Chains A and B, each alone.
Chain A
Amino acid sequence: MDVMIKAIDVNKEYRRAGAIIRALADVNLEIKSGEFVIIQGPTGCGKSTLLNVLSGLDIPDSGKIIFDGENIARATEDRLARLRRMKIGFVFQDFNLIRTLTALENVESVLWPTVLRTSEIEDRAIAALRDVNLLERKDHFPVQMSGGEKQKCGLARAIIHRPRVILADEPTGNLDPESEKEIMDLLKEINKDSETTVIVVTHREKLTSYGDKIVKMKDGKIQSVK
């Protein structure tokens, strides 16, 4: 398998209330194409920061992030935005759906800035909603959906552009156990069917059973990779 993302000697510090917090300390990590990776650790251990730097949402203080062969640690904002649009799908803990758009429009919104025709964007959005078993709710607004349905919509939005990597930050953090299982099963299915690399950040120990690779973090450092 090809290397999809490689973090080399990555460091990241934050200044909070005058104190310096070392969020990432000499992190080295290699994620291969098609892997299902779980980054697990207690709150504040730096796992979300790692996800942010891996996706180009945050810039490391030092070190390199090689994403699909390209060092993104010093890329411009517009370059990173295009990279995210083409290669990364995001799943958020709080769903981050636009409340004034229907489920279908929320999913379509990823492709609005592209040159694709409206009919093709709609076809793709419908296919993505079908993949996550949410097609019957396509005309519903977020406020009319349950937490699990909102997250499925978020998942459809993350896969509509057929990304190479899906990054999920605590994707089941706001869900009941039944919806949690459904979302994790869907992520696993997407990972297997399309060989999309999936990286899930979670503090829940029990979700580690879904991963091919388990990265355990503590105090900004990687404790173990299994």
Chain B
Amino acid sequence: MRKGILIILREKRTFMIFTVIYSLLIFLTSLFLEFAFSGQFGDLALYLVLIFMFASLILSLLYAWLLVSRNKRNWATFKCIGYTNGNVITMLAGIILFTAFLGFFVVVEILFHYAAIFSYVFPDNVAANNTLISLLPTVLTSVTFMLVQLISIALIYRKTLKIRPIVALKKVEA
């Protein structure tokens, strides 16, 4: 799993794009979940939470699909040099979970900074509620996002099984 993370960290562009999208989705879902809990915006908050959750599912599936399809030759090479399907899936699952976890970490970091800046700028209101989103919606959203990743892992499981090691031997056209 660690090596999968090493590989995706070097795929800077794909990794950055999906981490930013996940962070944004986790942030927005948590925010509207907070609104839904506090009764603000009525049913709209709940609808938006569902929309963001659905978007996260679609994006997670897209991410998983991209990871396998764009690097099919690499995964075939790994199989060729002796990786079992389990080894390949573990690497891919590591990449997917790491990206989602990093999205959660970025959101938590943003919320900490928000609270810190708020307390610094309005020192008299420190006792008041100075958090943008409280802990419960953030954690609930992140747990749901992690569960969504499991669906992606199920998808890559099927796709990975279909990659034949012999693909690695196909000649690359000049």
Interface residues of A (CB under 8 A from B): 48, 52, 57-58, 77-78, 81-86, 88, 90, 92-94, 96, 98, 100-101, 105, 109-110, 112-113, 157, 161, 169
Contact B11 A100 (CB under 8 A): yes
Contact A78 B85 (CB under 8 A): yes
Known A-B contacts: A82-B84, A109-B3. Give 4 more (CB < 8 A): A48-B169, A77-B85, A98-B74, A169-B169
Kindly list chain A residues whose C-beta atoms are within 8 Å of the C-beta of B81. Answer: 84-85, 90, 109-110, 157
State whether A98 and B171 are in contact (beta carbons under 8 Å apart), knowing that A78-B85, A109-B81, A113-B84 are contacts in the complex: no
A78 to B59, CA, bound (A): 31
Kindly list chain B residues whose C-beta atoms are within 8 Å of the C-beta of A78. Answer: 84-86
Closest Cβ neighbor of B10 among chain A residues: A100
B159 within 8 A of A: no
A93 to B172, CA, bound (A): 9
Contact B172 A57 (CB under 8 A): no
Contact A96 B79 (CB under 8 A): no
B168 within 8 A of A: yes
B129 within 8 A of A: no
Contact B168 A112 (CB under 8 A): no
Chain B interface secondary structure, helix, strand, loop or mixed?
helix
State whether A57 and B165 are in contact (beta carbons under 8 Å apart), knowing that A96-B77, A100-B11 are contacts in the complex: yes
Closest Cβ neighbor of A84 among chain B residues: B82
Kindly list chain B residues whose C-beta atoms are within 8 Å of the C-beta of A112. Answer: 3
B166 within 8 A of A: yes
Q: Could you mark each residue 32-49 of chain B with 1 if its beta carbon is under 8 Å from any beta carbon of chain A, else 0? A: 000000000000000000
B112 within 8 A of A: no
B144 within 8 A of A: no
Contact A98 B7 (CB under 8 A): yes
Closest Cβ neighbor of B77 among chain A residues: A96
B54 within 8 A of A: no
Minimum distance in angstroms from B63 CB to a CB of chain A: 17
A58 to B169, CA, bound (A): 11
A88 to B85, CA, bound (A): 18
Minimum distance in angstroms from A53 CB to a CB of chain B: 10
Minimum distance in angstroms from A33 CB to a CB of chain B: 20
